[in-house]
C-alpha cells in the first residue's frame, strides 16, 4: 500500500485510501490477457471507459467478475483476438489490447478506436513500439497485428 510521509512542525494522523485512476487501471485491464491465471484489481473506478474495456474483454472470452470496486479477470479461455468493432469505437484504450494479444496469442485485430474528442491523440507510437518488437501491422478498415 502506498503511503505519504510528511515532515513538518505539526503532528497529523489518519488513514488515506487513494481512489482508483482510469489512466492506471485501463492498461492493467489490458494486461490481464497476458496470463491464464486470475488477476484481481482493487479500487477500480466504475466509470464508462472502464465499463467498456470490461465489455471488450468479455467479448473476447475473458471471464470478468465484479464486486464493488474489485474486479477479477481470467483470460484462460479466449475465443478470439478480434475485438468488437462497435466497442472499439466507444473507447480510445482499445488499442492497449494489441500488445498483450500479440504477445500471448500471436495476433490481434482492432478497429479504429473512438472515445472522447479532446484533440489529437496519436496511435503511431503504439504501431512503432509493436513494429520495433517484430510485429507486422496492416491497416485497412481494421488494424491487424501479427507476431
Strand order in the sheet with 63-67: 39-41, 70-74, 63-67
Considering 49, 67, 116, 124, which one is annotated as catalytic? 116
Q: Which three cell numbers stand for residue 132?
A: 520495433
Instruction: Compute CA 137 distance to the chain's CA centroid, rounded to the nearest angstrom.
Output: 20
Among 14, 9, 66, 19, smallest CA distance to 40 is for 66
Q: Which three cell numbers stand for residue 78?
A: 479466449
DSSP E strands, the chain: 39-41, 63-67, 70-74, 107-110, 136-139, 143-146
Instruction: Compute CA 75 distance to the chain's CA centroid, rounded to the nearest angstrom.
Output: 13
Question: Is residue 84 annotated as a catalytic residue, yes or no?
Answer: no
Active site residues: 116
Amino acid at each position: 500500500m502506498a503511503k505519504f510521509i510528511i515532515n513538518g512542525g505539526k503532528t497529523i494522523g489518519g488513514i488515506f485510501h487513494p481512489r482508483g485512476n482510469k489512466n492506471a487501471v485501463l492498461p492493467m485491464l489490458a494486461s490481464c490477457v497476458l496470463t491464464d491465471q486470475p488477476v484481481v484489481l482493487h479500487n477500480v473506478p466504475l466509470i464508462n471507459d472502464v465499463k467498456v474495456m470490461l465489455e471488450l474483454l468479455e467479448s473476447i472470452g475473458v471471464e470478468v467478475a465484479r464486486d464493488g470496486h474489485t474486479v477479477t479477470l481470467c483470460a484462460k479461455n479466449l475465443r478470439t483476438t478480434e475485438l468488437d468493432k462497435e466497442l472499439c469505437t466507444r473507447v480510445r484504450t482499445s488499442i492497449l489490447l494489441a500488445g498483450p494479444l500479440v504477445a500471448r496469442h500471436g495476433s490481434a485485430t482492432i478497429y479504429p478506436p473512438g472515445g472522447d474528442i479532446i484533440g489529437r491523440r496519436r496511435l503511431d507510437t503504439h504501431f512503432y513500439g509493436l513494429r520495433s518488437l517484430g510485429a507486422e501491422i496492416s491497416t485497412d478498415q481494421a488494424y491487424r497485428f501479427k507476431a
